[in-house]
Amino acid sequence: MPDFVQRVSAKNELVPEWASQEVSTGTTIMAVEYDGGVVIGADSRTTTGAYIANRVTDKLTQIHERIYCCRSGSAADTQAIADVVTYQLGFHSIELDEPPLVETAANLFKASCYRYREELTAGILVAGWDKRKGGQVYCVPIGGMLVRQPVSVGGSGSTYIYGFMDSNYKPGMTKDKCMELTATALSLAMERDGSSGGVVRLASISEEGVERRVILGNELPRFSTH
């Protein structure tokens, strides 16, 4: 007799456990500064328990013309926070009659994430370009801290690539080298982390504007393990 164990929730036999679990962006996200802009990247997997709810998620969310955020943690929490900050920043920008600063956007994220730190599960990387300081990456992890870093990784898959990042990042890299570094790092993380996978989404933000790219599964860099 086949032994198929289907984990069903105790509350209702007909509704499997994954159906009542919250949707989380398991995730690997990364952001790198270079002279003249930033490169950001993310995987594309959203999970509810062990089921992949969306295998082509776009975790690189536009907050303003040249400011993006990379979302990790609870999908509902990060989508809601991003919507709120997009509104606040848009309003602020109209009042200023000037493109907003990346630091402003990062502080708006921090304000929401810190105030509601007990209720939220959100790890966010804010990255973009502004006239004052050029390309910047700000890290707003769970808890609501704010710190600027030249390179930052986040999400459940980030733990697998700290070593790679530390040994391969050098200050003063070109945009294309940063893209390559990000794509390789994300591929490595997606290889090892079950909650990360799908395609690699990349974006580069500079004074010229935003350039988006998708690297499909079969085009990802391969490693000696296969």
Partner 1 sequence: MATLTVSRPPVGGFNFENCKRNAVLEGEVTKLGCSLPAARKTGTTICGVVFKDGVVLGADTRATEGMIVADKNCSKIHYISPNIYCCGAGTAADTEMTTQIISSNLELHSLSTGRLPRVATANRMLKQMLFRYQGYIGAALVLGGVDCNGPHLYSIYPHGSTDKLPYVTMGSGSLAAMAVFEDRFKPDMEEADAKLLVRDAIAAGIFNDLGSGSNIDLCVITKGNVDYIRPHDEANKKGVRTGDYKYKRGTTSVLTKVVTPLNLEVMDESVQTMDTS
Residues that bind partner 1 (CB under 8 A): 12-16, 19, 22-23, 46, 48, 51, 53-54, 56-57, 74-76, 79-80, 83, 119
Instruction: Give, as one character, the DSSP assignment of residue 218.
Output: G
Q: Please say which residue, 22 or 219, places its beta carbon nearer to partner 1.
A: 22
In angstroms, what is the minimal distance from the CB of 209 to partner 1? 23
Residue 219: closest CA among 175, 183, 167:
183
Measured in residues, the chain has a length of: 226
Residue 65: closest CA among 207, 196, 201, 213:
207
Catalytic residue from among 27, 78, 86, 104: 27
Under 8 Å between Cβ of 182 and 30: yes
In angstroms, what is the minimal distance from the CB of 58 to partner 1? 9
Task: Tell me if residue 27 is catalytic.
Answer: yes
In angstroms, what is the minimal distance from the CB of 160 to partner 1? 25
Q: Please say which residue, 19 or 147, places its beta carbon nearer to partner 1.
A: 19
H runs (alpha helix) in 68-101:
75-96
Q: Please say which residue, 97 or 119, places its beta carbon nearer to partner 1.
A: 119
Which residue type occupies 78?
A: T
